[in-house]
Amino acid sequence: MQSAVLDWYAEHGRDLAFRRASDPWAILVSEVMAQQTQAARAAEAWTTFMATYPSPAAMAAASPADVIRAWRGLGYNRRALALHRAARQIVDAHDGRVPDSLEALVALPGIGPYTARAVLAIAFDQPVAALDVNIRRVLGRAFELDGVAAPARQATADGFVPTDRAADWMHALMDVGAAFCRPRDPRCDACPLRDPCPAAGLVAAKPARSRPAPRFASTTRWLRGRILDALRDAPGEGWVRFDGAIGEHEHEAVVAALASLAAEGMLALDGDRARLAPA
Protein backbone atom coordinates (compact mmCIF):
# COMPACT_ATOMS: atom_id res chain seq x y z
CA MET A 1 0.00 0.00 0.00
CA GLN A 2 2.85 2.37 0.79
CA SER A 3 4.47 1.69 -2.58
CA ALA A 4 1.20 2.15 -4.45
CA VAL A 5 0.58 5.53 -2.82
CA LEU A 6 4.13 6.84 -3.04
CA ASP A 7 4.68 5.70 -6.63
CA TRP A 8 1.48 7.43 -7.71
CA TYR A 9 2.44 10.58 -5.80
CA ALA A 10 5.89 10.72 -7.41
CA GLU A 11 4.23 10.98 -10.82
CA HIS A 12 0.95 12.78 -10.12
CA GLY A 13 1.28 14.69 -6.85
CA ARG A 14 0.27 18.34 -6.84
CA ASP A 15 3.19 20.71 -7.35
CA LEU A 16 2.46 23.25 -4.61
CA ALA A 17 5.05 25.89 -3.80
CA PHE A 18 5.23 25.16 -0.08
CA ARG A 19 5.87 21.46 -0.71
CA ARG A 20 9.33 22.42 -1.91
CA ALA A 21 10.12 24.13 1.40
CA SER A 22 12.22 22.54 4.13
CA ASP A 23 12.43 25.40 6.65
CA PRO A 24 10.24 24.60 9.69
CA TRP A 25 8.86 28.16 9.90
CA ALA A 26 7.86 28.14 6.23
CA ILE A 27 6.12 24.82 6.74
CA LEU A 28 4.36 25.99 9.90
CA VAL A 29 3.04 29.04 8.03
CA SER A 30 1.85 26.88 5.12
CA GLU A 31 0.01 24.52 7.44
CA VAL A 32 -1.74 27.36 9.27
CA MET A 33 -2.76 28.84 5.90
CA ALA A 34 -4.11 25.49 4.71
CA GLN A 35 -6.19 24.88 7.85
CA GLN A 36 -9.33 26.42 6.36
CA THR A 37 -8.20 27.45 2.88
CA GLN A 38 -7.89 25.33 -0.26
CA ALA A 39 -4.32 24.13 -0.73
CA ALA A 40 -3.86 25.72 -4.17
CA ARG A 41 -5.14 29.08 -2.95
CA ALA A 42 -2.95 28.93 0.15
CA ALA A 43 0.09 28.10 -1.99
CA GLU A 44 -0.46 31.20 -4.11
CA ALA A 45 -0.52 33.47 -1.05
CA TRP A 46 2.27 31.66 0.79
CA THR A 47 5.11 32.80 -1.49
CA THR A 48 4.33 36.50 -1.04
CA PHE A 49 3.64 36.10 2.67
CA MET A 50 6.96 34.34 3.25
CA ALA A 51 8.80 37.11 1.42
CA THR A 52 7.34 39.54 3.96
CA TYR A 53 7.79 37.32 7.03
CA PRO A 54 10.65 34.91 6.29
CA SER A 55 11.25 34.08 9.95
CA PRO A 56 9.46 34.08 13.30
CA ALA A 57 11.57 37.09 14.29
CA ALA A 58 10.39 39.06 11.26
CA MET A 59 6.76 38.43 12.13
CA ALA A 60 7.25 38.99 15.85
CA ALA A 61 8.66 42.43 15.08
CA ALA A 62 5.59 43.37 13.02
CA SER A 63 2.33 44.76 14.37
CA PRO A 64 -0.85 42.70 14.36
CA ALA A 65 -2.27 45.19 11.85
CA ASP A 66 0.59 44.53 9.43
CA VAL A 67 0.06 40.77 9.67
CA ILE A 68 -3.68 41.13 9.10
CA ARG A 69 -2.96 43.21 6.00
CA ALA A 70 -0.58 40.55 4.68
CA TRP A 71 -3.21 37.87 5.33
CA ARG A 72 -5.62 39.45 2.86
CA GLY A 73 -7.53 36.98 0.71
CA LEU A 74 -7.02 33.95 2.96
CA GLY A 75 -10.10 34.38 5.16
CA TYR A 76 -10.58 33.27 8.77
CA ASN A 77 -8.38 36.17 9.85
CA ARG A 78 -8.12 35.02 13.45
CA ARG A 79 -5.48 32.62 12.15
CA ALA A 80 -3.28 35.62 11.31
CA LEU A 81 -3.41 36.91 14.88
CA ALA A 82 -2.77 33.43 16.28
CA LEU A 83 0.23 33.01 13.97
CA HIS A 84 1.56 36.40 15.09
CA ARG A 85 1.28 35.36 18.73
CA ALA A 86 2.93 32.03 17.89
CA ALA A 87 5.85 33.86 16.23
CA ARG A 88 6.38 35.95 19.36
CA GLN A 89 6.26 32.84 21.54
CA ILE A 90 8.77 31.07 19.28
CA VAL A 91 11.12 34.04 19.62
CA ASP A 92 10.65 34.40 23.37
CA ALA A 93 10.59 30.74 24.41
CA HIS A 94 12.45 28.88 21.65
CA ASP A 95 15.24 31.26 20.57
CA GLY A 96 13.44 31.98 17.30
CA ARG A 97 13.38 28.34 16.14
CA VAL A 98 10.22 26.33 15.57
CA PRO A 99 10.21 23.56 18.20
CA ASP A 100 10.43 19.93 17.13
CA SER A 101 8.27 18.27 19.77
CA LEU A 102 4.52 17.69 19.79
CA GLU A 103 4.17 19.11 23.30
CA ALA A 104 5.93 22.37 22.42
CA LEU A 105 4.12 22.80 19.10
CA VAL A 106 0.61 22.37 20.50
CA ALA A 107 1.48 24.93 23.18
CA LEU A 108 1.82 27.59 20.46
CA PRO A 109 -1.26 29.77 19.81
CA GLY A 110 -3.46 28.43 17.02
CA ILE A 111 -1.56 25.14 16.66
CA GLY A 112 -3.64 22.03 17.26
CA PRO A 113 -2.64 18.36 17.18
CA TYR A 114 -3.10 18.02 13.41
CA THR A 115 -0.99 21.06 12.50
CA ALA A 116 1.67 20.09 15.04
CA ARG A 117 1.96 16.58 13.62
CA ALA A 118 2.04 17.94 10.07
CA VAL A 119 5.01 20.14 11.00
CA LEU A 120 6.76 17.23 12.68
CA ALA A 121 6.28 15.01 9.63
CA ILE A 122 7.11 17.56 6.94
CA ALA A 123 9.71 19.78 8.59
CA PHE A 124 11.42 17.26 10.86
CA ASP A 125 10.65 13.99 9.02
CA GLN A 126 9.33 12.38 12.18
CA PRO A 127 7.18 9.26 11.57
CA VAL A 128 3.90 10.67 12.81
CA ALA A 129 0.57 10.76 10.99
CA ALA A 130 -1.28 14.05 10.66
CA LEU A 131 -4.94 13.09 10.42
CA ASP A 132 -6.93 15.75 8.61
CA VAL A 133 -10.35 14.92 7.15
CA ASN A 134 -8.95 13.63 3.85
CA ILE A 135 -6.20 11.50 5.36
CA ARG A 136 -8.47 10.11 8.06
CA ARG A 137 -10.96 9.06 5.37
CA VAL A 138 -8.29 7.32 3.25
CA LEU A 139 -6.87 5.45 6.21
CA GLY A 140 -10.33 4.62 7.52
CA ARG A 141 -11.29 2.96 4.24
CA ALA A 142 -8.03 1.49 2.95
CA PHE A 143 -6.55 0.48 6.30
CA GLU A 144 -9.88 -0.36 7.98
CA LEU A 145 -9.61 2.19 10.78
CA ASP A 146 -13.23 3.36 10.77
CA GLY A 147 -14.72 2.85 14.20
CA VAL A 148 -11.33 2.52 15.89
CA ALA A 149 -11.00 4.67 19.02
CA ALA A 150 -9.03 7.87 18.43
CA PRO A 151 -5.88 6.99 20.46
CA ALA A 152 -5.61 3.55 18.83
CA ARG A 153 -6.32 5.05 15.39
CA GLN A 154 -3.54 7.60 15.85
CA ALA A 155 -1.08 4.97 17.04
CA THR A 156 -1.94 2.66 14.14
CA ALA A 157 -1.72 5.49 11.63
CA ASP A 158 1.68 6.47 13.04
CA GLY A 159 2.85 2.91 12.47
CA PHE A 160 1.97 3.11 8.76
CA VAL A 161 4.25 6.13 8.13
CA PRO A 162 7.40 5.20 6.15
CA THR A 163 10.25 6.06 8.48
CA ASP A 164 12.26 7.85 5.79
CA ARG A 165 9.44 9.51 3.82
CA ALA A 166 7.06 11.00 6.34
CA ALA A 167 6.50 14.22 4.36
CA ASP A 168 5.84 12.45 1.05
CA TRP A 169 3.49 10.02 2.78
CA MET A 170 1.39 12.80 4.25
CA HIS A 171 1.22 14.77 1.01
CA ALA A 172 0.42 11.65 -0.98
CA LEU A 173 -2.45 10.58 1.26
CA MET A 174 -3.84 14.10 1.17
CA ASP A 175 -3.80 14.10 -2.64
CA VAL A 176 -5.34 10.63 -2.84
CA GLY A 177 -8.11 11.77 -0.53
CA ALA A 178 -8.77 14.90 -2.56
CA ALA A 179 -8.60 13.28 -5.99
CA PHE A 180 -10.05 9.80 -5.45
CA CYS A 181 -11.16 8.86 -1.94
CA ARG A 182 -13.82 11.55 -1.79
CA PRO A 183 -16.67 11.51 0.72
CA ARG A 184 -19.23 11.63 -2.11
CA ASP A 185 -18.85 9.68 -5.34
CA PRO A 186 -15.36 8.24 -4.70
CA ARG A 187 -13.30 7.36 -7.80
CA CYS A 188 -12.24 3.89 -6.70
CA ASP A 189 -11.62 2.74 -10.28
CA ALA A 190 -8.71 5.21 -10.70
CA CYS A 191 -7.37 5.22 -7.13
CA PRO A 192 -3.82 3.88 -6.66
CA LEU A 193 -5.11 1.90 -3.67
CA ARG A 194 -7.94 0.23 -5.59
CA ASP A 195 -6.39 -3.27 -5.61
CA PRO A 196 -5.46 -3.70 -1.93
CA CYS A 197 -8.17 -1.43 -0.52
CA PRO A 198 -10.92 -3.50 1.16
CA ALA A 199 -13.45 -0.71 0.60
CA ALA A 200 -12.82 -0.30 -3.15
CA GLY A 201 -16.14 -0.32 -4.99
CA LEU A 202 -18.12 -0.74 -1.80
CA VAL A 203 -18.53 2.92 -0.81
CA ALA A 204 -21.87 4.03 -2.14
CA ALA A 205 -22.09 7.40 -3.81
CA LYS A 206 -23.99 9.87 -1.68
CA PRO A 207 -26.53 12.22 -3.24
CA ALA A 208 -25.71 15.90 -3.21
CA ARG A 209 -27.27 17.91 -0.41
CA SER A 210 -30.62 19.27 -1.43
CA ARG A 211 -30.60 22.22 0.97
CA PRO A 212 -29.21 25.26 -0.86
CA ALA A 213 -26.33 27.04 0.78
CA PRO A 214 -26.91 30.67 1.78
CA ARG A 215 -25.59 33.30 -0.59
CA PHE A 216 -22.11 34.25 0.60
CA ALA A 217 -22.90 37.97 0.53
CA SER A 218 -25.58 37.40 3.16
CA THR A 219 -23.24 35.73 5.66
CA THR A 220 -21.50 37.26 8.67
CA ARG A 221 -18.22 35.93 7.30
CA TRP A 222 -18.69 38.04 4.15
CA LEU A 223 -19.47 41.11 6.24
CA ARG A 224 -16.43 40.64 8.47
CA GLY A 225 -14.26 40.27 5.38
CA ARG A 226 -15.58 43.51 3.87
CA ILE A 227 -14.94 45.39 7.11
CA LEU A 228 -11.36 44.14 7.33
CA ASP A 229 -10.72 44.88 3.66
CA ALA A 230 -11.92 48.45 4.19
CA LEU A 231 -9.50 48.80 7.09
CA ARG A 232 -6.65 47.27 5.11
CA ASP A 233 -7.18 49.90 2.41
CA ALA A 234 -7.48 52.82 4.82
CA PRO A 235 -4.93 55.63 4.30
CA GLY A 236 -3.17 57.63 6.97
CA GLU A 237 -3.80 56.49 10.53
CA GLY A 238 -6.18 53.85 9.27
CA TRP A 239 -9.45 55.01 10.85
CA VAL A 240 -12.61 54.21 8.91
CA ARG A 241 -16.12 55.36 9.83
CA PHE A 242 -18.87 52.72 9.66
CA ASP A 243 -22.15 54.61 9.89
CA GLY A 244 -24.38 52.74 7.49
CA ALA A 245 -25.25 49.43 5.87
CA ILE A 246 -22.71 47.26 4.03
CA GLY A 247 -24.14 45.24 1.17
CA GLU A 248 -27.19 43.35 2.39
CA HIS A 249 -26.31 43.95 6.05
CA GLU A 250 -28.10 46.72 7.95
CA HIS A 251 -26.18 49.07 10.23
CA GLU A 252 -27.12 47.04 13.32
CA ALA A 253 -25.42 43.97 11.84
CA VAL A 254 -22.36 46.04 10.97
CA VAL A 255 -22.14 47.33 14.56
CA ALA A 256 -22.40 43.77 15.89
CA ALA A 257 -19.67 42.57 13.51
CA LEU A 258 -17.40 45.44 14.55
CA ALA A 259 -17.90 44.58 18.22
CA SER A 260 -17.12 40.92 17.56
CA LEU A 261 -13.95 41.77 15.63
CA ALA A 262 -12.86 44.14 18.39
CA ALA A 263 -13.40 41.46 21.03
CA GLU A 264 -11.14 39.13 19.03
CA GLY A 265 -8.40 41.75 18.92
CA MET A 266 -8.71 42.28 15.17
CA LEU A 267 -9.48 46.00 15.37
CA ALA A 268 -9.76 48.99 17.66
CA LEU A 269 -13.03 50.91 18.03
CA ASP A 270 -13.64 54.60 18.67
CA GLY A 271 -17.38 55.25 18.49
CA ASP A 272 -18.40 54.36 14.95
CA ARG A 273 -14.80 54.46 13.74
CA ALA A 274 -12.45 51.47 13.56
CA ARG A 275 -8.90 50.65 12.57
CA LEU A 276 -6.81 47.50 12.51
CA ALA A 277 -5.39 46.57 15.89
CA PRO A 278 -2.08 48.42 16.07
CA ALA A 279 -0.33 46.42 18.78
- Domains observed in the chain: 2-179 (1.10.340.30), 216-276 (1.10.10)
For the chain, the average pLDDT equals 90
Spatial CB neighbours of 274, under 8 Å, sequence gap ≥ 6: 227, 231, 239, 240, 242, 258, 261, 262, 267, 268
Q: Nearest-CA neighbor of 71 among 61, 60, 84?
A: 84
pLDDT at 36: 79
Q: How many whole angstroms separate alpha carbon 261 and alpha carbon 76?
A: 11
Percent of the chain with pLDDT over 90: 66
pLDDT above 70 covers a percentage of the chain that reads 96
CB-CB contact of 232 with 223 (8 Å): no
Angle at 278 between CA 231 and CA 79, to 5 degrees: 75
pLDDT at 11 over 90: yes
Is residue 52 within 8 A of residue 45, CB to CB? The reply is no
Half-sphere exposure of 195 (CA within 13 A, CB side): 6
Phi, psi torsion values for 276, nearest 5 degrees: -60, 145
116-164: pLDDT as tens digits: 999 999 999 999 999 988 899 999 998 888 888 889 999 999 999 998 8
Query: Distance between CA 6 and CA 19 in Å, rounded?
Result: 15
Query: How would you class 9 by CB atoms within 10 Å of its CB: exposed for 0-12, middle for 13-18, buried for 19 or more?
Result: buried
Global confidence as pTM: 0.86
Greater confidence (255 vs 209) lies with: 255
Which of the four pLDDT bands, split at 50, 70 and 90, describes residue 195?
confident
Strand partners, 249: 246
* Distance linking the first and last C-alpha atoms of the chain: 50
Strand partners, 240: 274
Return the higher-pLDDT residue of 196 and 64: 64
Q: Which of 31, 144, 237, 250 is catalytic?
A: 31
Q: Given a cut of 60, is residue 256 above it in pLDDT?
A: yes
pLDDT for the residue numbered 213: 60
Mean pLDDT in residue range 217-222? 87
Q: Encode pLDDT of 113-124 as tens digits.
A: 999 999 999 999
**Segment 29-79, tens digit of pLDDT:** 999 998 878 888 888 889 999 999 999 999 999 999 999 999 998 888 999
Active site residue 11: no
